[in-house]
Amino acid sequence: MVKKNVIVPHGDNVNTRSNTSLDHSKYGEQEEEEEEQSLLLSSNDPSSRRISIKCSIILLMSLVVFASVIVLSAVWISSLLPSNIRWSNMERDNEFREIINSVSRTIVDLTHSHYVMRGQVLKLLDFSNASQIEQVTYQTYVTEDLQNNGLVQTVYIGDDQYNGLGIYHDPAEGPCLFNYTANDRQEFYYCDPDFELYDYCKRNNTPDLVLGPFDVSSLVDTCNDNPKKQIFAETYVDVTTPNYDTFITLLYCFSMNNKTRFNYYLAFDFTVASFSNFLVQATQKVHGSKSFIIETETNYVVAIDDPTIKVAIPLSDDTVERKTIKTLNEDRTREVVNFVFAHAQDNISNIECNQIQTFEDGFDYISLYRMCTETKIDWLFVMAIPKWNYLGTIVIGVVSSLCGAILIVLLSIFLSIAISMKIVKPFYNLIDQFTAISRMDLEGIEVKPSKFYEVRELQKQFLDMTHMIKLYRAFIPTHLLQQLDKKNAEEEPFTTSDHHHHQTENNKKQQQQQQQLSTHSSTKSSVSSVSLSSSRSTQNTSVQKQHHSRNPLNMFSLYLEKKKVTLLHMVFDGFSDVLSRMENPNDCIHMLSDVFDQVHTISKITGGLLGHFENDSFMMSFNSSIQHANHQEKGVLASKLLLERIESLKTKKWLSHMKNDELLTLIEALKIRIALTQQECLVGNVGTRDLKTFSIISSAKYNLEAMVKKAHQLDISIIVSEGIQHKTHCQYHSRYVGDIHLVSDHEYSSMHLGRSENIPQKLYEIGDSTNQEADEWMYELENQKKKQKWQKYNQACQLLFEKQYHSALNLFLEFSNENQGNDKPCLEMIELCQHHIHKAPFSTMR
């Protein structure tokens, strides 16, 4: 009976379960398994998961920065925005007031000059003296021209009979004296323009230009309505000017008696072009603005900021058509006018006088001011300014602050990510190492030192824990590690129908496994364990697809099951002599370490369960703790690999490093004997809930020892039972070497007292692989002849089984001669044939 004194799971397929376990033990194990399962489920439950440290740091820093930005933005916006808006409103009003004040100053200056001249004319002038009127008007014109830069175009005096005399500024000729009479003609006398040289109008006695009558009826009517008053008449267009300029007349109506409303009037005509210039200058300062002045009573345009807009259109009858503000064909102006008239209910006289009003219309601020004076000026000033001119700076500031805030938040997020990554990086490293620990990848541990004290302490404790796990792991058998790591050997179902396909696939797997072994043979055992983990994982996946697996939570339960198991027994023939000749037993530690390195590696590659080393031998089982569909082939493959690698160790390492001649001779004589058989065994965990032992209960140990003795007798390396040979004859060359009586599979006693029937079994020696490519790769020199070396021997055995003893003897003799008589199995077969020929009793079971 073979036992493994470790806590292990049972096999994947359960055939027969023993009913000898106690009820309370089952109940305790079931309760423990349910508790473990509950813990696993709760750890995988998404509702039990919490936010990570990295996310917490990122979220915390982002919220702090975001809250700070919000507070700071709210503070500066609440502090600066109201004052900025007030400043914008004041600036807008100031720009509008500048237009109003410019026009007002001009009008005030003109009315002041006009009023002064009125006083002089009233006391000094003789209205009946034309020469005196000519002199006064000329001097007044020159004064106004010098003072107001040509603003006043005409200075003249008229009476209530539609007669008049004065000075007019001709755009082409300069100042000229003009005289007009009622319903008659106009006479023009050009004056010398040199004001410094002449203080009077130096002219010809005959008129230089004669035109039709001059209509002054509107002036007479105005004076009749406003005697003894300084007053502005309605604007008019002078058709004699090239651009059809708009003029306005400032009057003072003299009343000398009570018979008529007035007798004479003093008139200043001046162009409104200067007012348009004021508007042009103002709108140029304010991008996108629009301004104009309207005569309230007539809706005529007094001034506008665009000189290209024609406010008077000449007609064919030498008259002009004046444009009202509503009839101008300019989109921007029309939009503003529509709003103004809509606000004034289509009558701008409804707008309050001398009061600035500002309204919002879509994208504009529209400011209105109706100028009403005692001199009968009633004009509406309008200026439209885009909101963006004032709100743009505010919007840009707010948007910039928002962009800055977003940038700060993004930078804070990136910074928090960087900081969190720096903080949690050691934790992720530890998580990776813990993951490696969970896979039992103890050699791949790489802890990166952290600058944080607490993390370094945690890393130190982790490394101490890993060191202790390594110490414990060294005593855990391979089969348990394979179960815990879920890295079982890959298996393929073998059936009669796909025999050829299975043979080819098996040979390929043997090549791959031998390649892996060759790669790892020069490394240490620990490195081999790590590098082979991926192979075991792949194999385990195949097994899980083919067989029903036990629940991982039940892998430690007590059970026994009956199943076919392939058992390998390897003996170091001659190890006792080597050990007895060593002065210090520790001297053989390195030799045994080399052996265990190879044995451990091969057991992982082939998926075998490695047993304890006992004296000069150890056992390896297949299909015991791990399910194998072709466990016989696995066992033979393991035998071939063990023989090859240990022989290589002996020749390349032990003999080359050994200095003691006596030990050198003993090591050179050291032989490897391997016996393989398959039996029906009881396998499983036995014991109690707290102490379990994985056991293989069978008579295999007795049978294997008998087979090893036979191998020693015949000096062969690998001997197998008939069942193993039958399963592997397609993969390996083999030959019959004799018979042996083996104890029955159903005998489980350690003392074989002959109570059970011994079963005769044929024994076979295993040779080379039948795959030529594998032979060429593994041994580098074998060829087709190697596959033929036992052909004659096997033919002789076939004749022996057919009782053709003479023919068999001849072939055995030929084979023995070819091998110089050193082949012990052949010699025994020759002796057997000779005894059969002479009818003498003989047995190959000795």
Taking the C-alpha atoms of residue 373 and residue 467, their distance in angstroms, rounded to an integer, is 105
pLDDT in tens, 483-492: 666 543 343 3
Per the document, the length of the chain is 846
Inform me whether the pLDDT recorded for 510 exceeds 60.
no
Segment among 109-123, 424-438, 480-494, 643-657 with least mean pLDDT = 480-494
With cut-offs at 50, 70 and 90, classify the pLDDT of residue 519: very low
Most confident of 13-27, 170-184, 367-381, 404-418: 367-381
DSSP state of 12: S
Q: What percent of the chain shows pLDDT beyond 90?
A: 19
Inform me whether the pLDDT recorded for 314 exceeds 90.
no
Domains of the chain: 54-87+392-421 (no CATH), 125-271 (3.30.450.20), 287-386 (3.30.450), 525-789 (3.30.70.1230)
Per-residue buried b or exposed e for 30-45, using 16+ beta carbons within 10 Å of the residue's own CB: eeebeeeeeeeeeeee
Q: What percent of the chain shows pLDDT beyond 70?
A: 80
Inform me whether the pLDDT recorded for 239 exceeds 70.
yes
157: exposed, middle or buried (Cβ count in 10 Å: 0-12, 13-18, 19+): buried
Q: Are 353 and 332 in contact (CB under 8 A)?
A: no
Inform me whether the pLDDT recorded for 768 exceeds 70.
yes
Q: What does the pLDDT read at residue 173?
A: 86
**DSSP element (H, E) containing 422:** helix 388-438
DSSP string, 594-628: HHHHHHHHHHHHHT-EEEEEETTEEEEEESSSS--
Q: What does the pLDDT read at residue 243?
A: 78
Residues facing 769 on adjacent strands? 732
3-state secondary structure of 180: strand
pLDDT in tens, 606-620: 888 888 888 888 899
443 or 11, greater pLDDT = 443
Taking the C-alpha atoms of residue 656 and residue 651, their distance in angstroms, rounded to an integer, is 7
Q: What does the pLDDT read at residue 92?
A: 81
Most confident of 259-263, 279-283, 440-444: 279-283
Question: Taking the alpha carbons of 737, 634, 723, 747 in that order, is the dihedral positive or negative?
Answer: positive
Taking the C-alpha atoms of residue 761 and residue 743, their distance in angstroms, rounded to an integer, is 10
Instruction: Tell how strand 290-295 and strand 301-304 pair up.
Output: antiparallel
Q: Are 828 and 714 in contact (CB under 8 A)?
A: yes
Q: What does the pLDDT read at residue 354?
A: 92
Inform me whether the pLDDT recorded for 512 exceeds 70.
no
Inform me whether the pLDDT recorded for 554 exceeds 60.
no
Most confident of 474-478, 729-733, 768-772: 729-733
With cut-offs at 50, 70 and 90, classify the pLDDT of residue 22: very low
Q: What is the dihedral of CA 482, 483, 488, 491, to 10 degrees?
A: 140
* Structure tokens that stand for 290 in this block: 């629009």
Q: What does the pLDDT read at residue 555?
A: 59
Other beta carbons within 10 angstroms of residue 326's beta carbon come to: 14
Most confident of 91-105, 235-249, 259-273, 712-726: 712-726
Other beta carbons within 10 angstroms of residue 166's beta carbon come to: 25
Taking the C-alpha atoms of residue 270 and residue 80, their distance in angstroms, rounded to an integer, is 47
With cut-offs at 50, 70 and 90, classify the pLDDT of residue 528: very low
Mean of per-residue pLDDT scores for the chain: 79
